[in-house]
Amino acid sequence: MSRDSALVTAEWAEKNLDTPGTVFVEVDEDTAAYDAGHIPGAIKLDWRTELQDPVRRDFIDKGQFEELLSRKGISNDDTVILYGGNNNWFAAYAYWYFKLYGHQAVKLLDGGRKKWELDNRSLVTEVPQRAATSYQAQEPDPAIRAFRDEVVSAIGVKNLVDVRSPDEYAGRLLAPAHLPQEQAQRGGHIPSALSVPWSKAANEDGTFKSDDELRELYAEAGLDGSKPIIAYCRIGERSSHTWFALHELLGYADVKNYDGSWTEYGSLVGVPVAVGDEPGGNA
């Protein structure tokens, strides 16, 4: 994909807020951010209550995704523009969902809320009302999602990219420092995984770095572009951001997001675990 087919600028977004067939959707780590002010006309997706299965540890299935988008007033023909806080952390997660279920006309607002606010563009509190639709999703695309058995088999064979913070990678933390240290039973990383924190792909204003800068970032970390790539983090949202950079911007064909990530892997019995700052570490 080209950058233009996956991203829109804040300037473009402001000019197309009322364009028929274009739907702006906010998805934030802080699920209350939308209520305090959002892009005019944007609707909200709550990643905790609407994108996660209420019973199983999994994201919503095809039928649930269809019901959600139908209820939100999104049709199959709509172009969906996703954005959020924290450099589009959870917006990229939602983007990956849309691609997983076959919605091709979806883009990220480059820079998300951060760039929009830095530009002093307008935010409103009015919640738009959209008529319900009858959204039809495709079966989930197995080419962009990795599961634990594939991940274990990929150790030392494929590119494994750990996009968490260096302290999480080394096993000193189980989660980002501002969050409770919970969920995984063990700290560390998957042996042979490269450490490339997701945030290194973004500029100070939240926009993505240039293609050349991104290629240099991953090359310096040791990424072998001739091999398949699996990205992971703690619960799959930060690795969605890296998946976007590698697959949608740089055009690597075989890139998967392991959404089970360290919350699953770090609690598995008998799998190899590395600790420390080096890819091999101590298994």
pLDDT in tens, 76-100: 999 999 999 999 999 999 999 999 9
Q: Give mean pLDDT, residues 34-51.
A: 95
The residue with greater pLDDT, 178 or 30, is: 30
Q: What proportion of the chain, given as a percentage, has pLDDT over 70? A: 98
Contact 101, 65 (CB under 8 A): yes
What's residue 282's pLDDT?
41
Q: Give mean pLDDT, residues 114-121.
A: 98
> In the structure, what pLDDT confidence band is assigned to residue 174 with cuts at 50, 70 and 90?
confident
- Which sign, positive or negative, has the C-alpha torsion 165, 45, 261, 218? negative
The residue with greater pLDDT, 239 or 3, is: 239
**Domain residue limits, the chain:** 3-140, 143-265
Report residue 195: phi and psi, to 5°.
-100, 110
Cα(57)–Cα(52) distance, rounded to whole angstroms? Answer: 8
How far from 150 is each of 132, 140, 142, 260, CA to CA, in Å?
39, 17, 12, 12
Confidence check: pLDDT of 1 > 70: no
Per-residue pLDDT tens digits for 232-263: 999 889 999 999 999 999 999 999 999 999 99
The residue with greater pLDDT, 229 or 30, is: 229
Residue count of the chain, please give it: 283
Instruction: Return the CATH fold of 143-265.
Output: Oxidized Rhodanese; domain 1 (3.40.250)
Contact 100, 145 (CB under 8 A): yes
Contact 27, 81 (CB under 8 A): no
Confidence check: pLDDT of 118 > 60: yes
Q: Which two tokens stand for residue 23?
A: 């739907």
What are residue 162's DSSP bridge partners?
195, 232
For the chain, what is the mean pLDDT?
A: 94
Class of domain 3-140: alpha beta
Q: Which two tokens stand for residue 245?
A: 């950079």
What's residue 53's pLDDT?
81
Report residue 258: phi and psi, to 5°.
-95, 90
Cα(187)–Cα(106) distance, rounded to whole angstroms? Answer: 35
Cα(19)–Cα(146) distance, rounded to whole angstroms? Answer: 36
DSSP for 76-129, please give it. TTPEEEEE-HHHHHHHHHHHHHHHHTT--SEEEETTHHHHHHHTT---B-PPP-
Nearest CA to 83 out of 14, 131, 144, 171 is that of 14
What's residue 100's pLDDT?
97
What's residue 56's pLDDT?
79
How far from 143 is each of 51, 101, 185, 220, CA to CA, in Å?
20, 11, 29, 26
Q: Does the annotation mark 233 as catalytic? A: yes
Fold: same for 3-140 and 143-265: yes
Catalytic residue selected from 42, 163, 233, 235: 233
What are residue 160's DSSP bridge partners?
230
Contact 197, 165 (CB under 8 A): yes
How open is the CA angle 8-13-14, to the nearest 5 degrees?
150
The residue type of 250 is: L
What's residue 281's pLDDT?
47
Contact 197, 163 (CB under 8 A): yes
Confidence check: pLDDT of 177 > 90: no
* Model-wide pTM > 0.85: yes
What's residue 122's pLDDT?
97
The residue with greater pLDDT, 161 or 281, is: 161
